[in-house]
Structure 1
Amino acid sequence: MCGRYASSRRPEDLVEEFDIAEVRVPEPLEPDYNVAPTKQVYAVVERPPSREAEEQAVPPERQLRVVTWGLVPSWAKDRSIGNRMINARMETVAEKPAYKRAFAKRRCLLPADGYFEWYPTKELTKSGKPRKQPFFIRPRDHGVLAMAGLYEIWRDPTRTDDDPDRFLWTCTVITTEAEDSVGHIHDRMPLMVERDRWGAWLDPGRPQDHLLDLLVPAAPGALEAYPVSTLVSNVRNNGAELLEPLPLEEVPQ
């Protein structure tokens, strides 16, 4: 599972990193060190520059968009379904009704600094449950983490045709079994897309036959994990201090 991550890069940084042709960002997002479901996040997509261009079969361009984390399928009656659709399992993403249409045509990259997972310790809370220690997991070289995602465009039936906010863009993170170096913390992890596969993954015209072959867990040793403050467990807390390593003597065993 991926339920929290950090995303602090500026649009101009992402434009250079992902070779963006068009920035469709009404207003830059503030650096977010505690991204949680239902928040707005950056997504890299490939789409025709306009509806007219799509009708004329103009090749898609790489765009930077702002979307809401929590996928709302186009057929949903209301947006609340997105609250529980933050992750799509790689094992079933191509067949599940909620995801298969997006998997076929609307794939994206979700840039992150890293993501958080919680490990149950032997220490107990007042209620008798294991106290969970958060860990931050990021690329060892501190580069951008390009998480594999899907996006959807949902038409809000409560809004009029001339309402600029009638379409809601949402996303989900695709997950897989965690590789060994981080699997002891949590058994699931977001799927990464290697740089040389970005174009193939984003291409909306690519046949589905080998799409899953483009997705691989992070290479062994490519990620590092370290304990951080439990402040991250409260979504209201947000700041670079959430990514600071916790001194070993303060880590519950």
Structure 2
Amino acid sequence: MGFSAIIAVLLSAGALILPTAAQTSGTSATPFRQQIRDIQQDFRQNIEEVRQNLKGEISQLREGALEEFKEKRLEAKNLIEQKREEFKNTIEEKRAQLQSQIQKNREDLKNRLIKIKDERKKQTVERINNQINELNERRLDHFSDVLEKLEKVLDRIGSRADKAEAHGLDISAVRTAITEANNVIAASRAAIAAQAGKTYTIIISTEAALRTDVGKTRQVLHDDLTKVQETVKAAREAVKKAAVTLAQIPRVDELEVATSTATSTATSSNQ
């Protein structure tokens, strides 16, 4: 039964509880009718007060949900930014520490290349040695960029999950998936940081084996980068899983949380 129907039943009930005298005495009928009208008026006023109180409570609940949503979003963004800066600082520190080692390795390589008579081959080996270390740096920068993009996607998933929670939906499975994805991203960043601390130098045996020596060093780098790449792939799959889990919440894409701007606009239009 609807709210209006309940009120109608309650109002009509007044006529059913009139004293017998009011129904039989002609002289006292008018006062009793006036009493009933007064009772009905008081009842309507009470109902209106209840309505206004309910509206106020609902408004407070919505404002509370909005504030909680904003706090969670701000906390998440601050945490993401903090982790990102810490990771960048770690990579920069490792690369700075490696500079002296890289320079030492270059000098060692030049000394080992003294026994190689062909100057062109010497220059080629030195160039390839530099390229190997530069390639390591470029690939790690690429992997870092991928993780940053995945983290932004995961943040948007978290935002949608917060909106769903503000509407009273169960998002426990999404929270679990997001936590797992964050852990995998953190593990991938740890792998990148470890790889950033490595430097590669071609080990020279003989002039005849130069091609083989270069190939061995390249293969070592390839194997190391492949291991790091696998962690990035795992991060991508974890974020994908979180997105799929979120999509399983009914009508999640239709949910919105009113913004403070919208609230202010509505308030201004009512004044």
**TM, length-normalised to structure 2:** 0.24
Higher strand fraction: Structure 1 or Structure 2? 1
**TM, length-normalised to structure 1:** 0.25
